[in-house]
Amino acid sequence: MPDSYFRALLIDRGPTQHAAVFLGVWSAVILLLKRSKLKIQRRALTHPVIPENYEFVLSSRTADQVIRNIHAIAEDPDRFIVFNRILVALSNLKNLGRVGDVDDILRSLAERDESAHQTSFATLGGFLWAIPVLGFIGTVLGLASAIGNFSSLLDQQADVSAIVGSLKEVTGGLSTAFETTLLALVIALVIQLWMTAQKKAEEVFLDDSQEYCLKQVVSRIRILPFEQLGE
């Protein structure tokens, strides 16, 4: 009995229900992919790119060594947020005159990644708006159908027993109408909570990435004055 009820709730409630379930599944797939990508991105934070030797000084002369370390860790480092930030900063190292300039580049890249992070949830936000609306549309259609059936029942001028029997079908239609909204709201609630958790996890990762860059690059860098003139 429960299986048949849930099957009817998910499948047998009309096109608006199908659309709400479809968007819910689509949202779940997006969140699963984002979770998988975040797990891969986090692996980069476990690999130090600067030699652990405390005597090592990061400068324009030693930047190539760090770049080689990054390419040894990942075949395509540009796909990793933290590695891409470091590569961009190191590629501009010879043109910079202050450690603060490197920090400014890393912060600029962090802001860009933060903007991309916010944009990546735009589709899910649209789905979360559409799912409850589809549920309300299904409810309105169900109510209209139930009221129409009730009006046709009164027009038939049947006896009381026939009216009572037909009223069960009308009330059943009302139940179906409200179940449409119920399912849509449940789907939206689950996706909203899941999205909030995923968004928080990505924000923590971005903060950890910024801290990683500060520890691995900014705190170890030394830009020598007139270094280029002495080459």
Q: Of residues 29 and 50, which shows the higher confidence score?
A: 29
The full set of domain ranges for the chain reads 11-224
Cα atoms in the Cβ-side hemisphere of radius 13 Å centred on 225 = 0
| Res 229 pLDDT > 70 | no
Per-residue pLDDT reduced to its tens digit, 173-210? 666 677 788 888 999 999 999 999 999 999 999 999 99
The answer to whether 84 touches 78, Cβ cutoff 8 Å, is yes
**What percent of the chain clears pLDDT 90, i.e. is strictly above it?**
39
**Residue 230, burial from CB neighbour count under 10 angstroms (0-12, 13-18, 19+):** exposed
How far are the Cα atoms of 85, 107, 142, 205 from residue 212, in angstroms, in the given order? 11, 12, 55, 10
**Whether the predicted model's global pTM rises above the 0.85 cut:** no
pLDDT tens for 45-76 read 999 888 877 778 887 788 888 889 999 998 89
Give the pLDDT band (50/70/90) at residue 151: low
Rg (the chain; Cα; Å): 29
